[in-house]
Every structure is written in structure tokens, then in C-alpha cells.
Amino acid sequence: MESQEITLSKLSLIIGNIRTPNSKIDNDKISESLKKDLDKATFDVTNKTYDIPLTYHGQHSWILDLIRQQVYAYQNLSIVNNKVWANIENFNEISVTRNNLNIQDIQNQPTHTLIYILQAGDNAGELVLKYKKPNQKIYVDTCHVQQGNFYVFNSNIDYYFSKNLDEKNREYITWTCVEQ
């Protein structure tokens, strides 16, 4: 008789950066584009999470591709983009708590959330992840926010950014992704 173990769920957090001395990524240029998108965004009952819809910028794809390549090379995880948006938090602002599951569309759930820190000062706060393990205990992990870092984690994990204690805005782009 044989037996087999099947992992039903796996929680993971991947932290990395795509900053290199020769990088052609221009965070300032992308930030300017993001601020123009912010001017056009509306925040009402339909946008409770203060997401900024992004106008396509060539470097968005470049950033996503660099991160996808690094995640695949080091963690053997292949993800593709599902949806993208951005957020900005000023001094003393905190983000809303969320996860990226959509209970209205069970068939097309993202499997991973990818966040890239576009702009952040030295005291930009923490990314806070809150999740349950099989024993039903709630766990909280935090990651220091640093410009150029990226974070990839399961889309069912609740997350938020703590208070931005830096005068510089905290700006980040979020992609929901599906594992291939």
C-alpha cells in the first residue's frame, strides 16, 4: 500500500530588491506619472481602498518582468499579472487593511500579491502581514519598507502598511498575480 502527502495550502513571503548600480529604472519618472494618475482618480464608495488606477508606463512592465525573473530564478515560482494599481500615503498616514481575494469571482482568484516600493523615506513604516496557521492562531509578521524592495505573498493574507513617519510620501505599486 502506498500513501501520498498533498500540501493543501502553503503560506510564503518573498522579499527582494531589484536595485542595482546600473539599473535604468527611474522611480522618479514613474512617481511623476503616478501623481498624474492620482489627480484623475476618484475615491468614493466604489474605491474604499484608495487605489489609484495606473496609466500604462513602459517601466511598469519592466519592473514586473525583473521581479518575475528574480522570483522564478530563486524560488521557482512563475507568476503572471492579473491586475495592477498604486497607492500613496503621506506623512502620518496608514493604509487600509486588505487582502486581494474577490469572493464575487471564485474562479479567477489571484494566488499572489506583489508589491513594489516605488518611493519611501528612511522611516516609511512597516508592511504588516496578518494570517492564520492551521492551528487557527493569528500570526503577524512585519517587514521594514525600503525603496526598491518588493514583497510577494499569498493573496489570502491580510496586509496593511503602518504609519508613514517620514516626510517623504510612501508610494507603491501592487500587482495581483496568478501562479502558472
Residue positions counted in the chain: 180
| 3, pLDDT greater than 90 | no
Q: Taking a C-beta distance cutoff of 8 angstroms, is the pair 129, 14 a contact? A: no
CA atoms within 13 A on the CB side of 48: 4
Tell me the pLDDT of the chain averaged across its residues. Answer: 92
The angle at the Cα of 118, spanning 115 to 120, to the nearest 5 degrees, equals: 105
Q: Taking a C-beta distance cutoff of 8 angstroms, is the pair 178, 111 a contact? A: yes
At 140-176, the pLDDT tens digits run: 999 999 999 999 999 999 999 999 999 999 999 999 9
Range of the domain at 167: 13-41+48-179
Q: Which whole number is the average pLDDT over 72-83?
A: 95
CATH code for the domain of 36: 2.60.120.620
The strand pairing partners of 84, in sequence order, are 175
| Range with lowest mean pLDDT among 27-31, 39-43, 63-67 | 39-43
In our burial notation (b when 16+ CB lie closer than 10 A, e otherwise), range 133-156 reads eeeeeeeeeebebebbbbbbbbbb
The predicted model scores a pTM of: 0.92
Q: Which whole number is the average pLDDT over 109-115?
A: 95
For the chain, the domain total comes to 1
Tell me, yes or no, whether 3 lies in a domain.
Answer: no
Tell me, yes or no, whether 6 lies in a domain.
Answer: no
Q: Which whole number is the average pLDDT over 94-121?
A: 92
Tell me, yes or no, whether 133 lies in a domain.
Answer: yes
Tell me, yes or no, whether 75 lies in a domain.
Answer: yes
